[in-house]
Structure 1
């Protein structure tokens, strides 16, 4: 059977076929799980040639594995990148990017609002390595350019900030960065293809917590870094497979390969449900503000229309009014969240189930109160990941929860 040319194929076709073909040994349709730590060689000479890179092959699963490789090829194809590194967690991807692009004496710019564990890396870990970090609002292009120094090597931000849902114009930031010789790395976890394509917008590296939408089933911890082969190669060779040792297991890679085959269908439902729930929440009298790029009230809605092409995702945050029936906003938020019956209180996102959490005490609890205030993460802010349930049931769950106020 001749291989179908995926070069101009649609997203759904690539999500099913990229990186995967029938097993050459037995013809298995699903990619086999090569659950092995090491690989055998026919001769010493063959082993030496594989280790040196003279010929293709596998030697040890930390450096490469056929199941993991299939996943890397698929994610690279979906992000329209040349190469991909799969990692054992989203933070493994963050570590790979910063250690692969920065060295002692370098300077990095980081978006002022990022995932709490990422914030710890930039505020605490990089300082121990002699790397200076400046935090900026990436929606303020003048502030970004003003923060650039002669030794600035990296500008890092999230496409859609966690948990404030602020969208950054990747193309504008990339233009500024490249004029000064800096690399742009974008965490695209909240807005994976087919929502946003950071590499097409000009970014050099894009990273994911594959735990979320890319796997989509809430049963895997993993990450990925995608970009040009010249950038990805050294990170994989020297960082993720060496100092970090964050290669994912073959079994987890298999689970993500399975999950990716339905990604286009899943994302369409997440986007459809997300917009409907956001509009509902905006109509609730107790709600002060809803942060969702698909709403016309969102500050970057025009940027969202250009970058997201109507696919606004299933992630949003909202605040209740400062005083609700004699309660402060945070007390009212806790009361509503605790009253939900269909939605689960959990810190992940992108699962089939609707998930809700309180960033200040959960995902961003490692940040100091001052850092959270600087990032605009309020104590009464609630983050919601809208799942794949029937949207009428999700809304009905919130209606009965708001009724307790």
Structure 2
């Protein structure tokens, strides 16, 4: 199947149309072998030496993600954190990294740890302030600009086109955590980014049964060469069964993301003016400060993540979370079941999350059931 002739939905649904040889299997086989036979002359007729960096288990999932992102190449990792860390370690020691203030808390904490060790120089910018970001890049150009949009868990929007243009003008690389929008809604490489990172545990897999990560690049480069080397030599690889499950999940990616995004928008609209809430944080609402930018760079929806801030404060937010029945109280996002978390208590000391905030990951259940569940939980 040609990538150029078919829509992303078709490519995903058919896994690029790859058919297994010999038996013509529609479901791809699992490749568990850790090693491969040499020919009698010492050559490798199968083109593989060792599975740490050459397993055929990754081929189809990596090729599909590269096609969906419009990437030169994609690589799988055992977690999203492993993918991000591998990219950071591919930078020259002491490289300056400019990261957003609102971002996945574990990665922010890890970046701060790397900075404390002297491995990177770290600074932060306000996600939605494009003018200030341009000025920061011009004044002290980073080696790498890290972007997360929409930004977890308060869902600020960064103007990707403007951020990438500013970075490129000053020789900076751009990496985008695109876990939440997925390539169904946003393709950062087309907007000027150099790298895209996914916690593939979330929407790409979508079934709460795989921990995985992925990186994709716009073009080959010395940094990307080091990423490949670091993955191979550091052993940051995904197991064959996990790669197979990830590929299976990706084949329904478009359906899941669009359905869940439509439900999230319905929830946001329903509770936008509810007096029990101090705010509904969702870029699909016209009153969201980043709505116009999100509409320009998110095609076909605004994502399935939103947060609500309970008017009565932290204890009321904790109590409401405890009353949820359809929404499951669990860490993670992007799965078929809807999840809810009181993020302040989950993140612990140093959390920048408002204590009255409940983060919602909307799944694919009937939206009427989700609306009713939130209504009864709020009391």
Deviation at 1:44, TM superposition (A): 5.2
Matched, 1:346 2:330: yes
Contact 1:315 1:384 in 2 (8 A): yes
RMSD: 1.8
Q: Report the equivalent of 1:134.
A: 123
Distance 1:264 1:105 in 2: 39
Deviates more, 1:245-254 or 1:120-129: 120-129
1:143 & 1:23 partners in 2: Cα distance? Answer: 52
Of the candidates 34, 41, 45, which is equivalent to residue 42 of structure 2?
45
TM-score if structure 1 supplies the norm length? 0.89
SS of the residue 2:39 aligns to: coil
Task: For residue 229 of structure 1, report the CA deviation from its aligned partner.
Answer: 4.3
User: C-alpha deviations, 1:242-292, integer Å up to 9, x for none?
Assistant: 23x221111011111111111111112111111011112213211010110
Number of residues of Structure 1 aligned to a counterpart in Structure 2: 377
**Do the aligned partners of 1:85 and 1:236 also contact (CA within 8 Å) in 2?**
no
Q: Counterparts of 2:141 and 2:233 in 1: how far apart (Å)?
A: 26
Query: Residue 205 of structure 1 corresponds to which residue in structure 2?
Result: 195
Query: What's the counterpart of residue 205 of structure 2?
Result: 215
Give the C-alpha shift of residue 18 in structure 1. 4.4
For structure 1, the 5+ residue unaligned runs are: 51-55
Native 8 Å contact 1:271 1:314 kept in 2: yes
Counterpart of 2:79?
89
TM superposition shift of 1:8: 3.3
**Rounded Cα–Cα distance in structure 2 between residues aligned with 1:116 and 1:351:** 20
For 1:8 and 1:92, the matched residues in 2 are separated by: 34
The aligned runs of 1:5-404 (5 Å cut-off) are 5-19=2-16, 21-43=18-40, 45-47=42-44, 57-100=47-90, 102-148=91-137, 152-231=142-221, 233-243=224-234, 245-321=235-311, 324=312, 329-362=313-346, 364-365=347-348, 368-369=350-351, 372=352, 377-403=353-379
Helix, strand or coil: the match of 1:63? helix
Deviation, 1:144, is 2.1
CA distance in 2, matches of 1:41, 1:390: 54
- Which is worse superposed, 150-159 or 106-115? 150-159
Q: Report if aligned partners of 1:105, 1:151 keep a CA contact under 8 Å in 2.
A: no
Aligned-partner Cα distance in 2 for 1:237–1:43: 29
Q: Which moved more, 1:228-237 or 1:128-137?
A: 228-237
Which residues of structure 2 form unaligned runs of 5+? none
Q: Which runs of 4+ in 1 moved over 4 A?
A: none
1:108–1:132 contact (8 Å) kept in structure 2: yes
- Partners of 1:210 and 1:291 lie apart in 2 by 24
TM-score under structure 2 normalisation? Answer: 0.95
